[in-house]
């Protein structure tokens, strides 16, 4: 019996609770290509993060309804796919699952043969789908603990922690079949081969291009911009560089920040001589034990977090008729690449020691370099820190990371002659520059906050513990 074919529309999913639109960055499949379930069909850009949209069905790619670089609202169709089914009932079930899995704006639909008491049972987020496929798990065999029986990422991780056993032999065999057929087999989350990210693979192919390294702002090989030459010939006086969706997002966010937030800034000088000596004492042993660098930024973050505890108004946002003070201290960390600046977030930074902050810094910096940051990594920030000193900067006026109330930069450490007790001594000094939202914060509170950060940084000594 010949397979019946039917066209379905794939819609833009809601990748995050606050997401209302996204930009199609690149189509990974073209019309006529065969697509397997869970295989990425396109890259989207939102909040300066690249995310892949996986297919929820097996089929053949049809018309691409949205061009690259176009911004589209959540719930709108992005392409059409042709799917095969043994009968109309199976086709209808696949269409229903696509609608449920990709859109939270549509009402709950109960698929044929599914429990009406769990209307969210078959709504899988892309993160859940990717994680299950990577570990060869059958989502139908996992018990969901989310609203309406929905399977959450925590549910999948719990099964993985138990060795991938869901309790049903048939489910396990089905899981194994899914793993063997999945395009994620042998591939890591970033889309490259096992042990190598996609961007690392590009760098390996272009090994002749040197990679710059500068403190926390570890970068990849510089990209060659798309250039359109006007006029041609040797006498041309200008050329064009296409504005990428990432650059567009940065421009939009920066414009919003400077147009809505009345910026003011202030600076303080800090004696970090003891901090330099402490880090020099600990860094080699820390490297051997943890396998990562113990950076100055981790000590600075700890000092900032402790100061925010004393002055919680620094951890707030403006809400027109009220000021919202955030209870959680989630530090956004500015990380620069050759073509953008991203601000991944260290969640609950106040619950981490210096070593824990160092691990988070390394992990987020690595994911930024590899291009594997997820939307969750970029959301929830309440205060931003930036290590501009890694470039040798000694003074800067940063733009506030909207809608936060302030951003603090840690400038370069420079040896200077300093007067101490009427005697001149050579000390390691650094500037801290704070930009503030003058609707929320004033000079008095910011001055006291900077003084507390200064006290915390100058309070480090050779007995300070990082664990």
Q: What is the pLDDT of residue 126?
A: 59
Segment 364-373 mean pLDDT: 89
178 pLDDT higher than 90? no
How far, in Å, CA of 127 to CA of 52, rounded?
10
pLDDT digits (tens, 9 = 90+) for 67-115: 988 888 888 999 999 997 654 444 445 444 544 444 433 333 333 344 5
Give long-range contacts, CB 8 A cutoff, 24+ apart: 70-73. 70/23, 70/24, 71/21, 71/22, 71/23, 72/12, 72/21, 72/22, 72/23, 72/24, 73/12, 73/20, 73/21
Sheet of 40-46, strands arranged across: 49-54, 40-46, 21-27, 71-73
Task: Report pLDDT for 246.
Answer: 79
pLDDT tens track for 141-151? 888 877 667 78
Across the range 225-245, mean pLDDT stands at 67
Higher pLDDT, 251 or 304: 304
Active site residues: 438, 442
Environment class of 130 (CB within 10 Å of its CB; exposed 0-12, middle 13-18, buried 19+): buried
pLDDT score recorded for residue 356: 97
Give the global pTM. 0.64
**Higher-pLDDT residue of 243, 406:** 406
Average pLDDT over residues 202-216: 41
Burial 55-90 (b: 16+ CB within 10 A, else e): bbbbbbbbebbbeeeebbebbeebbbbebbbeeeee
- % of the chain surpassing 70 pLDDT: 73
> For the chain, which domains are there?
1-113 (2.40.50.100), 116-185 (no CATH), 247-458 (3.30.559.10)
Kindly indicate the confidence band of residue 47, based on its pLDDT and cuts at 50, 70 and 90: low
Encoded tokens for 371: 């291009």
pLDDT top residue among 438 and 128: 438
Q: What are the pLDDT digits (tens) for 405-463?
A: 999 999 999 999 999 999 999 999 999 999 999 999 999 999 999 999 999 999 999 99
Average pLDDT estimate for 308-330: 96
With a cut of 80, say whether residue 169 has pLDDT above it. Answer: no
pLDDT band for position 20 (cuts 50, 70, 90): confident
When the pLDDT of each residue in the chain is averaged and rounded to a whole number, the result is 80
43 SS3 class: strand
In this model, does residue 52 exceed pLDDT 60? yes
Q: Which of 152-156, 222-226, 284-288 has the lowest mean pLDDT?
A: 222-226
Q: Is the pLDDT of residue 222 over 50?
A: no
Tokens of 461: 């000594």
Cα distances (Å, whole numbers) of residue 84 to 129, 350, 426: 21, 52, 76
391 secondary structure, DSSP code = G
Q: How many CB atoms lie within 10 A of CB 204?
A: 11
CA-based nearest residue to 66, from 92, 49, 41, 91? 41
Contact indicator for 81, 40 with CB cutoff of 8 Å:
no
**Residue 160 pLDDT class (50, 70, 90 cuts):** confident
């Amino acid at each position: 019996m010949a397979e019946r074919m039917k066209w379905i529309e794939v819609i833009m999913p809601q990748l995050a609770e606050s997401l209302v639109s996204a930009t199609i960055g690149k189509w990974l499949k073209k019309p006529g290509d065969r697509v397997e379930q869970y295989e990425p069909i396109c890259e989207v850009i939102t909040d300066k993060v690249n995310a892949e949209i996986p297919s929820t069905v097996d089929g053949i790619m049809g018309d691409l309804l949205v061009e690259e670089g176009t911004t589209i609202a959540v719930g709108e169709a992005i392409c059409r796919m042709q799917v095969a089914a043994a009968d109309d009932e199976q086709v209808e079930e696949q269409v229903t699952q696509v609608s449920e899995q990709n859109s939270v704006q549509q009402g709950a639909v109960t698929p044929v043969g599914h429990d009406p008491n769990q209307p969210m049972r078959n709504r899988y987020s892309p993160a859940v789908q990717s994680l299950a496929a990577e570990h060869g798990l059958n989502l139908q065999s996992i018990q969901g603990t989310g609203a309406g029986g929905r399977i959450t990422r925590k549910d999948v991780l719990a099964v993985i922690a138990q060795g991938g056993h869901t309790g049903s032999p048939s489910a396990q065999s089905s899981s194994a079949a899914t793993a063997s057929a999945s395009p994620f087999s042998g591939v890591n989350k970033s889309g490259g081969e096992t042990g190598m990210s996609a961007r690392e693979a590009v760098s390996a192919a272009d090994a002749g291009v040197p990679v710059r390294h500068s403190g926390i702002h570890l970068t990849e090989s510089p990209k060659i911009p798309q250039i359109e030459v006007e006029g041609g010939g040797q006498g041309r006086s200008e050329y064009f560089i296409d504005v990428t969706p990432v650059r567009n997002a940065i421009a939009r966010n920066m414009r919003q920040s400077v147009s809505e937030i009345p910026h003011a800034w202030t600076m303080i000088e800090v004696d970090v001589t003891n901090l330099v000596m402490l880090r020099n004492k600990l860094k080699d042993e820390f490297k051997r034990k943890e396998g990562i660098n113990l950076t100055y930024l981790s000590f600075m973050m700890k000092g900032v977090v402790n100061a925010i505890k004393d002055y919680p108004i620094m951890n707030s946002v403006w809400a027109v008729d009220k000021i919202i003070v955030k209870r959680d201290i989630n530090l956004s960390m500015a990380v620069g690449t050759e073509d953008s600046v991203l601000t991944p977030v260290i969640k609950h930074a106040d619950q981490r020691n210096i070593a824990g902050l160092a691990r988070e810094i390394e992990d987020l910096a690595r994911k930024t370099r590899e291009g594997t940051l997820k939307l969750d990594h970029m959301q929830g920030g309440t205060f931003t820190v930036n290590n501009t000193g890694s470039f040798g900067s000694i003074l800067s006026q940063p733009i506030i990371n909207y809608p936060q109330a302030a951003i603090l930069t840690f400038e370069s450490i420079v040896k200077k002659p300093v007067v101490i007790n009427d005697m001149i001594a050579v000390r390691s000094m650094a500037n801290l520059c704070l930009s503030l939202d003058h609707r929320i914060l004033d000079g008095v509170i910011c001055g006291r906050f900077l003084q507390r950060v200064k006290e915390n940084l100058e309070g480090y000594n050779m007995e300070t513990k990082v664990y």
